[in-house]
Structure 1
Amino acid sequence: MTIPHDPVAGSTASEPLTLDGSPVTLEDVLAVAEGRRRVALSTAPDFRERIARGNAFLERLLEEDGVVYGVTTGYGDSCTREVPASDLEQLPRQLYTFHGCGLGEVLSVEAARAVVMVRLVSLCRGVSGVSVELLERLVWLLEHDVVPVIPEEGSVGASGDLTPLSYLAAVLCGERDVFDRGQRRATAEVLAEHGLAPYRLKPKEGLALMNGTAVMTALGVFAFARTTYLARLATRITALSVYALDGNPYHFDADLFAAKPHPGQNRVAERLRDDLHAPSTPRNSPRLQDRYSTRCAPHVIGVVEDALPWWRQFLETELNSANDNPLIDAEGGKVMHGGHFYGGHVAFVMDSLKQANANLADLLDRQLALLVDARFNHGLPSNLSGATPERASLNHGYKAVQIGASAWTAEALKLTMPASVFSRSTECHNQDKVSMGTIAARDALRVLTLVEQVAAASLHAACQGVELRSRLADAAPLPQGLASFLDVCRSTFPALGEDRALEPELRTLCGLIRQRRWSLYDA
């Protein structure tokens, strides 16, 4: 069965995304990162002239013996050290060379493509003093699916993502390793096969490539997309759980939620009403009050829904910003030294996003605990076992799955400590207040992985609970929308009769969730 693709992930676009310094969206970056859309550099004369003017202005400054940080000086606290004219061409290589000390796991191919794309978008703003040729080389990497191998660890998020971005600069110059169509290879070999000479960085281009927030922002794009999907999936799982628990569908009444008008919270309640076919509350509800994990689900999931717009605003503003240092104002004849490499906005989004997502895990874990407990599940078998009565004593259903979900939830909750408050003083106290944005983004992605595992377990069990409930004589009819979704799920994993090892099915579900493979509500 073909599983419909969620609109959050978009679809393959026939026309390439043309970069000309105009704003792009998070979805644009995601489509390029996942290989669903190509990129082209604008051929418009005004765009190319704007880029060229910045680079030409820098060249004039060098001829006039102008002092430009990172162009005629050392880096960081070494900015007081003037570099001799004879060494200026060597300076960019020194920058990416001594930053080649990243450790930890490497970014996925998709994440590395997103890094290239995010850096390219920023440099296309036209105030970084780079050449058109550099932008064309970045486009070439994306077009040929040759992307840098980038270690995850080593950035404090100001002066930007220096260490991980050094791997992008080095790859352009023919050094270190790349993923060539998914295979890790030496960069020099790949460039030679394509007949492409290593690039020679111009005076400020090493700094322009490395001194920015591209890694944390790229990771933030994935975190945002996964969060958007998880909020919808948590809503659907809640609807399944309410039905399976024979819950009160009128807790989501429109008039009730009009009294507390958070838009996202109301949107979640509306989705639950539609799923459960509960348009309006009768005078006397079938059960007065369900437990909070179902009754208050819109209030938990709604926090995510209501935060999504401002998370998007922070991330898209960062994405479409010039965030290296210094910036070049060719029109005004100025070199502007500042701190736009500081990733505080991204760090704040990632810290708050992981907290909101961990609450989704906690919500679903509590629902699962109700489903498996015969004291609270209103007539379902203990642990949702589907075994026959004669085999009931031998089979244990979802007992261990609930334990696993509790473990994953606990780990997600443990990781909600904000990274942004752990600023360190580095680089001889030049970088004495830093954002920790990249660490915050990596933490957020780990939390999201754990939440997706809880969602997979909860979805598997909720489908079982729905089927067990629907077989009971007094069961309400299963609403058509939930029935259709159950059919889609059953095309991926069967009902649980006799106990079986569920790891393969849970791993498959985690993959489908991460890929946003099911259509859930309207975008």
Structure 2
Amino acid sequence: MVVLTGQSLTIEDAKNVLYEYMFVSASVESMKKVEKSREAVENIVKQKKVVYGITTGFGKFSDVLIESDDVEELQWNLIHSHACGVGEPFPEVVSRAMVLLRANALLKGYSGVRTVVIERLLDLLNARIHPVIPQQGSLGASGDLAPLAHLALVLMGEGEVFYQGERMEAITALSKVGIVPLTLKAKEGLALINGTQAMTAMGLVNYIEAEQLAYQTEAIAALTLEGLRGIEDAFDPRVHEARGYHQQTEVAERIRRMVSGSQLITKQGELRVQDAYSLRCIPQVHGASWQALDYVKEKLEIEMNAATDNPLIFDDGEKVISGGNFHGQPIALAMDFMKIAVAELANISERRIERLVNPQLNDLPPFLSPVPGLQSGAMIMQYCAASLVSENKTLAHPASVDSIPSSANQEDHVSMGTIASRHAHQIIQNVRRVLAVELICALQAVEYRGIEKMASFTKSLYEEARKLIPSITQDRVFSKDIEIAASWLNKMDWKAFVDRNLPTTQYGY
């Protein structure tokens, strides 16, 4: 069980909830804070104080006073008017992450919602009911208003959800499991939609996928090193310790362990003096991407436990402050950084693919073809990888450098963080397919060199991959192979594979 406190949620906890469907509950102490915060809101309404978002309109309407009899209608209107997201829905796992993160943020006790709102969010998680939330429509400041409004609709028994593999009306799914829809009270609608949970949820799923992908790139690169008879000296620990980046040093160490005992790896001067950068600089390039991913992880774990709505209630209601924690700039910058870092893994991978297939750069059969000329082999797979890499370059353009004013210029600088996180997700999918191409080519190259000469780890990877991807003995529709390989990389338990086949190492060191 994962117990939410509003302060201690980790990426590892989130993985257990998102992918293992671990049961989620709220800590007793956190719920007490929520109750005190709610009392403050009710006192504000009772005393008819003018407080933004509780007894006033929103955005440019912040100067419009709302009568106490109308506060429930205000919440209803807010959710319905703001639920204007468009486009394809977020992946279901991202929707699940939004529900988790929204519940955790409310548990900090600064938002003024009733405990029943948090209970309903946890009910959705534990029943595996996930709101259908359109991906487009958020500016990433004032919170992810449009996406989170679609989440809030479900608590009211409206909108659509994913449940048991089907897309259906929310009220149908809620009825099946006995969840009673809510009527939102003062401040609750605003508390549900004012926050960065869409971009952060997407960022969280991105990080989980990117982390696994980054480890996999190293193993696939190790296969390529064997296929091209790469030089091991470039991975000598002294080289990397001399520079001082621990991520670079760790990549080099993992590569050394992966090719340990290989008869295909060469020494400096044995076949050539130096390898090309795409082989020799694997630790430097991959290590730099790891530095960026470490930065992203730090920002995500802060934001996952942050109060990001507005206004926030302090000192048992004595102080209600209207601020700007809903602004997504920290996550926008992190996601833009992630885009560049992950795209670079594909850039260098595509160059390794070129070295595997180009007969002017190796001594393998041209394009790894079984019958060069009559059969094209991996020729067009390299084209595919090059296309994906080029597409990533356009997606990697930073979203956070853009801003469009909204709400009659009251909200005059926005983060575009949700766009950044969505583009990062697209890049990750493209990178995985580029790596799938490198994997297919590297498998073929080591086969030509001699499987019996491989390191034990890379041979294990070869044997697992060959269960799904047959040797190239005849031209075929390689699109299917690429998608099968990419799906395998996405779904495999990489940590378990590493622990099983490199028992003397710790995952990630």
Q: TM-score, normalised by structure 1?
A: 0.92
The partner residue of 1:32 within 5, 11, 17 is: 17
Task: Kindly provide the amino acid, as one letter, of the partner of residue 461 in structure 1.
Answer: C
CA distance in 2, matches of 1:512, 1:362: 21
Q: Does 1:407 align with 2:387?
A: yes
CA distance in 2, matches of 1:196, 1:145: 12
Alignment-derived partner of residue 293 in structure 1: 278
Q: Does 1:418 align with 2:398?
A: yes
The partner residue of 2:94 within 98, 111, 136 is: 111
CA distance in 2, matches of 1:494, 1:517: 21
Task: Quote the offset at 1:496 in angstroms.
Answer: 0.8
- 2:231–2:266 CA contact under 8 A, matched in 1: no
- Runs of 5+ unmatched residues, structure 2: none
Alignment-derived partner of residue 216 in structure 1: 199
Task: Quote the offset at 1:330 in angstroms.
Answer: 4.1
Structure with greater proportional helix content: 2
For residues 383-427 of structure 1, the C-alpha deviation after alignment (integer angstroms, 9 at most, x for no partner) is 112x2xxx4431111011111111111111221110000111111
Task: Quote the offset at 1:381 in angstroms.
Answer: 0.4
- 1:30–1:221 CA contact under 8 A, matched in 2: no
- 1:109–1:182 CA contact under 8 A, matched in 2: no
CA distance in 1, matches of 2:387, 2:468: 25
CA distance in 1, matches of 2:5, 2:150: 25
The partner residue of 1:495 within 459, 462, 471 is: 471
- 1:53–1:330 CA contact under 8 A, matched in 2: no
Q: Does 1:178 align with 2:154?
A: no
CA distance in 1, matches of 2:23, 2:488: 24
Taking the TM superposition and a 5 Å limit, the aligned residue runs for 1:296-307 are 296-307=281-292
Alignment-derived partner of residue 310 in structure 1: 295
Task: Quote the offset at 1:311 in angstroms.
Answer: 1.4
- 1:229–1:516 CA contact under 8 A, matched in 2: no
More displaced, 77-86 or 187-196? 187-196
- 1:57–1:330 CA contact under 8 A, matched in 2: no
CA distance in 1, matches of 2:372, 2:44: 82
For residues 214-248 of structure 1, the C-alpha deviation after alignment (integer angstroms, 9 at most, x for no partner) is 00000011111122112211111111111111221
Alignment-derived partner of residue 326 in structure 2: 341
The partner residue of 1:451 within 428, 431, 434 is: 431
Task: Kindly provide the amino acid, as one letter, of the partner of residue 198 in structure 2.
Answer: V
Alignment-derived partner of residue 6 in structure 2: 21
Alignment-derived partner of residue 422 in structure 2: 442
- 2:376–2:475 CA contact under 8 A, matched in 1: yes
CA distance in 1, matches of 2:159, 2:138: 18
- 1:265–1:303 CA contact under 8 A, matched in 2: yes
CA distance in 1, matches of 2:256, 2:229: 15
Q: Does 1:155 align with 2:167?
A: no
- 2:7–2:306 CA contact under 8 A, matched in 1: no
More displaced, 427-436 or 283-292? 283-292
| Cα 1:321/1:411, change in 2 over 3 Å | same
CA distance in 2, matches of 1:88, 1:332: 18
CA distance in 2, matches of 1:516, 1:225: 13
CA distance in 1, matches of 2:336, 2:491: 23
The partner residue of 2:360 within 375, 382, 385 is: 375
Q: Does 1:432 align with 2:412?
A: yes
Q: Does 1:465 align with 2:441?
A: no
- 1:384–1:398 CA contact under 8 A, matched in 2: yes
Task: Kindly provide the amino acid, as one letter, of the partner of residue 514 in structure 1.
Answer: N
CA distance in 2, matches of 1:284, 1:185: 65
- 2:71–2:185 CA contact under 8 A, matched in 1: no
Aligned to 1:163, what secondary structure does the other structure show? helix
- 1:71–1:91 CA contact under 8 A, matched in 2: no
Task: Kindly provide the amino acid, as one letter, of the partner of residue 16 in structure 2.
Answer: A
Aligned to 1:88, what secondary structure does the other structure show? helix
Alignment-derived partner of residue 10 in structure 1: none
CA distance in 1, matches of 2:430, 2:283: 21
Alignment-derived partner of residue 11 in structure 1: none
Task: Kindly provide the amino acid, as one letter, of the partner of residue 40 in structure 2.
Answer: F
Identity of aligned residues (%): 36
Taking the TM superposition and a 5 Å limit, the aligned residue runs for 1:61-460 are 61-277=44-260, 286-331=271-316, 333-377=318-362, 379-385=363-369, 387=370, 391-460=371-440
Aligned to 1:423, what secondary structure does the other structure show? coil
- 2:209–2:428 CA contact under 8 A, matched in 1: yes
CA distance in 1, matches of 2:17, 2:484: 24
- 2:289–2:344 CA contact under 8 A, matched in 1: no
CA distance in 1, matches of 2:295, 2:118: 30
| Cα 1:466/1:497, change in 2 over 3 Å | same
Task: Kindly provide the amino acid, as one letter, of the partner of residue 486 in structure 2.
Answer: C
For residues 89-121 of structure 1, the C-alpha deviation after alignment (integer angstroms, 9 at most, x for no partner) is 111111111012111110121111011001111
Task: Kindly provide the amino acid, as one letter, of the partner of residue 364 in structure 2.
Answer: L
Aligned to 2:308, what secondary structure does the other structure show? coil
Task: Kindly provide the amino acid, as one letter, of the partner of residue 115 in structure 1.
Answer: M
Task: Quote the offset at 1:182 in angstroms.
Answer: 2.5
Task: Kindly provide the amino acid, as one letter, of the partner of residue 398 in structure 1.
Answer: A
Task: Kindly provide the amino acid, as one letter, of the partner of residue 431 in structure 2.
Answer: V
Q: TM-score, normalised by structure 2?
A: 0.94
CA distance in 2, matches of 1:230, 1:238: 12
CA distance in 2, matches of 1:196, 1:257: 56
- Number of equivalences: 497
- 2:89–2:132 CA contact under 8 A, matched in 1: yes
CA distance in 2, matches of 1:195, 1:365: 52
| Cα 1:79/1:66, change in 2 over 3 Å | same
Task: Quote the offset at 1:286 in angstroms.
Answer: 4.3
For residues 143-187 of structure 1, the C-alpha deviation after alignment (integer angstroms, 9 at most, x for no partner) is 111111100000000101000000111110011111122211111
For residues 2-57 of structure 1, the C-alpha deviation after alignment (integer angstroms, 9 at most, x for no partner) is xxxxxxxxxxxxxx111133311122223212243121123x2x332211000011
- Runs of 5+ unmatched residues, structure 1: 1-15
Task: Kindly provide the amino acid, as one letter, of the partner of residue 84 in structure 1.
Answer: E
| Cα 1:108/1:281, change in 2 over 3 Å | closer
Aligned to 2:400, what secondary structure does the other structure show? coil
CA distance in 1, matches of 2:177, 2:274: 67
Q: Does 1:481 align with 2:457?
A: yes
Aligned to 2:399, what secondary structure does the other structure show? coil
CA distance in 2, matches of 1:251, 1:30: 35
Q: Cα RMSD over matched residues?
A: 1.8
Task: Kindly provide the amino acid, as one letter, of the partner of residue 383 in structure 1.
Answer: F
